Amino acid sequence: MGWDVTYHPVGHDDIASTYFATLADPAREDGLAQQYGLASFDADKLRKVFASARELPPDRPFNKGHAFHVAIVFGFVRKFHYVRGGAFSFLMDDPTMRRYTSDWKDLVPPQERSRVFENRLTENYCGGVFLSHEALRRLRTDYDTDAHVRTRLDETFSLGRVTVFWKAVDGALEQGLGLMEATEAIEPNPMDLNASAGYTNVLNCEPDGLLLYADAAREQLAQAQKQFAQADRARKGLFARLLGK
């Protein structure tokens, strides 16, 4: 399985004032759905997400529990971006790049701070880094002035994916928000995007990253079919020679 990474615009205060506040008070769920104009179907799914989050065991690492649920919740209420196989988490071993990320422990209520905080993607179905609004502004500037930052981002988000990443960054900046990543919040079907699935609202996913993935998948399929045809012709040629034809 690859990495189906999504980038969600989320504010620094959203974590406590929206997610954890609603988690603690189910009565807020209807107000949240009304605030963002959710259809009844999505509102019902949102309630199920919060119900699932309330059942998380106390020893569940934050990125595999609440962080993943945070991404799902905000995927219902705001547009987000998809990048196949491109994650800022892959840069966390680089001290220069790690400085742009926040510690999730500083964003959650005190009663949640006893959990394990990885602050990055560690596997599928989990939350990753959080980049604050201020960090996104620095990153935007540094990309143009710091060769190391530019190189690392271009390598991590290669094959046109850096363009999608910057659209996610710029969208968050325009809203005055930060950005968080998650993996498997949605699971696109590159051969039929209309058949894509997800824990959050797939229709809120901006199409650019999905189309990039679909194009790459079709190209890989075409190459595989070409190689198969070549191998099949070679096999038939070998049989013909062995039979003296």
Whether residue 233 is predicted with pLDDT greater than 90 in this model: the reply is no
Q: Dump pLDDT digits (tens) for 38-48.
A: 999 999 999 99
Distance CA 143, CA 165 (A): 12
Calculate mean pLDDT across residues 54-70: 97
pLDDT, residue 229, reads 46
pLDDT value at residue 218: 81
- For β-strands 178-183 and 126-131, DSSP reports them as antiparallel
Q: How confident is the model at residue 237 (pLDDT cuts 50, 70, 90)?
A: low
Q: What is the rounded CA–CA span in Å between residue 118 and residue 104?
A: 9
State if pTM tops 0.85: yes
pLDDT (0 to 100) of residue 225:
54
219 falls in which pLDDT band (50, 70, 90)? confident
| Residue bearing tokens 């997400």 | 49
CB 199 within 8 A of CB 72: yes
**How confident is the model at residue 1, as a pLDDT?**
56
Q: What is the per-residue pLDDT for 240?
A: 57
- How large a percentage of the chain has pLDDT more than 70? 89
What is the strand order of the sheet 126-131 is part of?
Answer: 81-84, 4-10, 178-183, 126-131
pLDDT classification of 24: cutoffs 50, 70, 90: very high
Q: Can you read off the two tokens belonging to residue 189?
A: 């079907």
Band (114; pLDDT cuts 50, 70, 90): very high
Residue 223: per-residue pLDDT: 64
Q: Does residue 37 register a pLDDT over 90?
A: yes
pLDDT digits (tens, 9 = 90+) for 157-205: 999 999 999 999 999 999 999 999 999 999 999 999 999 999 999 999 9
Is the confidence at residue 243, as pLDDT, over 70? no
198, containing H or E segment: strand 197-198
Say whether pLDDT at 50 is over 80: yes
Quick check: 222 pLDDT over 90? no
